[in-house]
């Protein structure tokens, strides 16, 4: 505990020094309760040139990997930060230094093995260096080329200490300004913390790779590298080395007889499949993380950051995509509201009109004029204007779609992302009208209805208890009472008809899948009659709802 406090004090001193250097003394004064700060930098070291946003970027770069990743994470959050700061954060680059690491010693220490018994060769110099880990190439005794990813020493403790400081800064901003609460900074920082701790865990990355291998084991367009679990833990990840072509290297692709157009279309299909088929997608599909094997198969690498979509949200997302392709702005608005964590929409009509404008732009523009990043930025503006705070994965989707579309367009300028969604809309429609799905949906809704009915006696007992104790009060003002009574009666009848319709759909689906009873050709007579009855009920309901 004492060691942890010492580390935090050391990082705090570093934070104070850097913030002082870039002219943020007012913030330091507030952090110190309004007391005068001790001078931590000489006057000639203080950098006051440039805008406040430029100095924020420079300070983040100097503070190191955790703060750089924080800035990079927020660089696509136009819903939270001003455009000028977003532009500066998008310039952030990791200043990564190579660390001396003894790979053989690390392997022997972590797995209690003799390296010579398992490895033929291990390169001394890293193949690549990142802020969290370094990558080395090696060869197993059987001749299989592998990659060894080693986490840098003390990276976990440094990140944990930095996260504590970042949370302290968030508390400071929230305490001295309404901006923190208005922008929901606490939730945003919490999301960043969870994402970064997952990324720093090589066990988590191993599990992500295994999940991707399971998801795409029968897919002929992609290949997921093998993981050598016997040489993998939280500090080391051993995986198959992929001798592939960089996805954007068009000339090399052509030289190997690989069609770049097919690669771009397959890459986009695979990314959409990750999202819609599995709700588990690569969160950083830039060109450096996508390779193409000599047989044309596409390989995603670096699975440290992934997006995960819950089943309920996945269904809403499917509806959102279907509505987008069908150009239905009203349903898009409804899906966005269902998906949002919270929202404060000042003008519903304007919200829907803004969505309609995006649809008109997409469906009326020529292929060459459609810029996905522009569309995403428009969508972010709509979310910001209406204070729609979306789940974590939603912003990762924005980032991922923008990256994968950019990669695809670099080798195929005619890539059509909207067209690639059409097969999935058909697939979604087919799934929704499947009798088994109708039965499941009907049963789920019936269970929800039953749960709500079960709650009625509890609420009724509460009301009766208040009446008995003379604590029940009613405050109301009803205008046009006759019209109100008529509306209530009509709504009750509509509700009863809807319940009958739901029960009939469930019964029809059950009979449809049964082979017993009289039949018309290959269809059950009872199921046909049930289907006709459902159509009649739907028509009656539509007439009642649309009638003045």
Chunked mean pLDDT (size 10), the chain, 548 residues: 68 81 67 49 56 86 83 75 83 76 94 94 91 92 95 87 83 66 72 86 95 95 96 96 93 94 92 91 91 95 90 87 84 90 87 90 67 81 85 86 88 79 70 58 56 56 61 55 69 74 72 64 69 78 68
CA distances from 421 to 60, 80, 280, 428, 526 (A): 39, 29, 17, 11, 37
Identify which of 32, 41, 45, 74 has the alpha carbon closest to the alpha carbon of residue 57.
74
Would you state the pLDDT for residue 44?
A: 44
* Tokens read off for 366: 């020529």
**Spatial distance between the Cα atoms of 331 and 337, rounded to a whole number of angstroms:** 10
447 contacts: CB under 8 Å, gap ≥ 6: none
| Residue-level pLDDT at 42 | 45
What sign results for the dihedral spanned by CA atoms 5, 7, 8, 13? positive
Within a 10 A sphere around the Cβ of 450, how many other Cβ atoms? 10
Find the distance separating the first CA and the last CA of the chain, reported in whole Å. Answer: 71
pLDDT score of 299: 96
Rounded CA separation 455/62 (Å)? 57
pLDDT value for 432 = 58
At 87 the pLDDT is 85
**Element (DSSP H or E) covering residue 211:** helix 202-215
Which H or E run contains 128? strand 128-129
**Residue entry with tokens 């509505």:** 323
Whether residue 165 contacts residue 11, with contact meaning beta carbons closer than 8 Å, is answered with yes
Cα–Cα distance, 115 to 236 (Å, whole number): 14
| C-beta atoms surrounding 387 within 10 Å | 16
Give the relative orientation of helices 417-433 and 260-273 as an angle to the nearest 10 degrees.
40
Pairing mode, strands 145-151 and 133-140? antiparallel
Tens digits of residue pLDDT in 215-267: 999 999 999 999 999 999 999 999 999 999 999 999 999 999 999 999 999 99
């Amino acid at each position: 505990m004492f060691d942890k406090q010492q580390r935090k004090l050391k990082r705090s001193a570093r934070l104070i020094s850097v913030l002082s250097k870039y002219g943020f003394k007012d913030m330091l004064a507030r952090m110190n309760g309004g007391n005068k700060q001790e001078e931590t930098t000489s006057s000639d070291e203080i950098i006051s040139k440039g805008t406040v946003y430029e100095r924020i970027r420079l300070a983040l770069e100097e503070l190191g990997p955790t703060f750089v990743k924080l800035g990079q994470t927020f660089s696509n959050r136009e819903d939270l930060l001003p455009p000028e700061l977003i532009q500066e954060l998008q310039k952030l680059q990791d200043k990564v230094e190579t660390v001396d690491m003894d790979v053989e010693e690390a392997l022997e220490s972590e797995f209690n093995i003799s390296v010579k018994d398992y490895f033929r060769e291990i390169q001394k110099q890293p193949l690549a260096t990142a802020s969290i880990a370094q990558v080395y190439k090696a060869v197993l005794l059987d001749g299989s080329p592998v990659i060894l990813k080693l986490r840098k020493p003390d990276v976990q403790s440094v990140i944990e200490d930095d996260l504590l400081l970042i949370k302290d800064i968030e508390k400071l901003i929230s305490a001295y300004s309404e901006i923190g609460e208005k922008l929901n900074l606490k939730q945003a920082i919490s999301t960043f913390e969870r994402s970064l701790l997952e990324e720093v865990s090589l066990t988590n990355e191993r599990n992500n790779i295994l999940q991707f291998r399971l998801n795409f084991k029968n897919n002929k367009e992609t290949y997921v590298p093998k993981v050598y679990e016997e040489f993998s833990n939280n500090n080391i990840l051993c995986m198959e080395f992929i001798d592939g072509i960089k996805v954007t290297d068009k000339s090399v692709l052509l030289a190997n007889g690989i069609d770049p157009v097919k690669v771009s279309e397959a890459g986009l299909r695979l990314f959409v499949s990750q999202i819609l088929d599995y709700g588990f997608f690569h969160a950083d599909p830039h060109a450096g993380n996508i390779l193409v094997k000599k047989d044309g198969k596409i390989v995603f690498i670096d699975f440290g950051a992934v997006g995960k979509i819950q089943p309920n949200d996945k269904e809403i997302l499917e509806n959102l995509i279907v509505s987008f392709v069908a150009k239905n702005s009203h349903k898009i608005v409804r899906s966005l509201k269902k998906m949002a964590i919270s929202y404060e929409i000042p003008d519903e009509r304007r919200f829907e009109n803004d969505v309609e404008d995006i649809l008109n732009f997409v469906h009326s523009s020529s292929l060459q004029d459609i810029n996905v990043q522009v569309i995403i930025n428009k969508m972010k503006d709509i979310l910001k204007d209406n204070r729609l705070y979306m789940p974590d994965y939603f912003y990762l989707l924005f980032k991922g779609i923008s990256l994968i579309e950019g990669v695809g367009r670099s080798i195929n300028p005619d890539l059509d992302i909207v067209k690639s969604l059409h097969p999935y809309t058909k697939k979604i429609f087919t799934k929704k009208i499947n009798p088994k799905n109708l039965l499941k949906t009907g049963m789920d809704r019936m269970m929800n209805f039953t749960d709500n009915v079960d709650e009625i006696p509890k609420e009724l007992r509460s009301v009766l208890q208040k009446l008995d104790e003379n604590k029940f009060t009613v405050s109301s003002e009803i205008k046009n009472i006759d019209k109100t009574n008529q509306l209530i009666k009509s709504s009750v009848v509509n509700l009863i008809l809807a319940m009958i319709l739901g029960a009939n759909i469930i019964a029809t689906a059950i009979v449809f899948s049964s082979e017993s009873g009289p039949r018309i050709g290959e269809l059950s007579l009872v199921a046909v009659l049930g289907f006709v009855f459902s159509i009649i009920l739907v028509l009656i309901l539509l007439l009642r709802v649309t009638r003045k």
